Amino acid sequence: MDTTLLPTGVVTCAVYARDGRRTDIGIDAISDVLAADDGSFVWLGLYEPEVALLECLQEEFGLHELAIEDAHKAHQRPKIEAYGETFFIAVHTAQRVDGEVRFGETQLFVGPRFLITVRHGASLSYVPVRGRCERDARLMGMGPAYALYAVLDYIVDNFQPIVQDYQQDLDELEKSIFAERYRSETIKHLYRLKRELTRTRMAVAPLMDIVAALARSQGGMIPREIAPYFRDVHDHAIRVSDTIDVLREMLTAA
């Protein structure tokens, strides 16, 4: 399907059959896909969509109006909420842009037959996540819960190189201090690094709670065979959070 024909704000819209096969579809075909009891699911990717598009999708997927309102607005606190058979999840993301850490948000709707990702601000595309999922038809056959795991795993993993950069920044600051080059620029760098570490910690910490809640949901929205994948993401998030805490302690002592 020619993606230039998709409405503004829609990155990708595809349906995945039980055997993992992908078919690109238009927004107007979603209702027919969801009406078919064939085990397929829709994976829809959005980037900063207009409210009119979200209202259209609210009707197509039967989404709660409060969740739609949250998905349109940026600056949501990280959370997970249940609306009937649908989970609404909001998480913060981060990426390096021109040497600076910039933060964005992703809201996700996940139901028995669909996954919708809504990106705002500095958020890397989830096209690589789709590619990874599509290489294993068996796992994609598990439905939207596996796709949800893959997105959250990608988000958590993208914090790791940022934290590694923080470690390098701190090492350079320590060298400047011990070399008696403790100038005003060094102080500014210290405060900037402290601020970025704090904000990154605030993004990662809620992710641990969200992923843990999803792992506990096994048997309902989350199939039992998927729960271990969420526990693995939880472990990754803990390691990132612990590293941030160590760096913050070192920075305080600097």
Q: What is the pLDDT along the chain (254 residues), one digit of tens a residue?
A: 444 467 788 999 999 998 888 899 999 899 999 998 888 999 999 999 999 999 999 999 999 999 998 888 777 789 999 998 899 999 999 988 877 888 999 999 999 999 999 999 878 889 999 999 999 888 888 899 999 999 999 999 999 999 999 999 888 887 777 666 556 677 787 888 888 999 999 999 999 999 999 998 866 778 888 999 999 999 999 999 999 999 998 887 65
Q: Are 117 and 106 in contact (CB under 8 A)?
A: yes
Taking phi over 0 as left and psi of -120 to 50 as alpha, with beta for the rest, 169 belongs to: alpha
Query: What letter does residue 76 receive in the DSSP assignment?
Result: P
CA 234, 236, 237, 239 torsion-angle sign: positive
Burial tier of 48 (Cβ tally within 10 Å: 0-12, 13-18, 19+): middle
- CATH numbers and ranges of domains, the chain: 3-162+186-253 (3.30.460.20)
Beta-ladder partners of 14? 24, 43
What is the reported pTM? Answer: 0.90
What is residue 4's predicted lDDT score, i.e. its pLDDT?
Answer: 43
H/E run at residue 43 = strand 41-47
What does residue 23 show for φ and ψ, rounded to 5 degrees? -135, 120
What does residue 2 show for φ and ψ, rounded to 5 degrees? -75, 110
d(CA 237, CA 134): 24
CA 155, 156, 157, 159 torsion-angle sign: positive
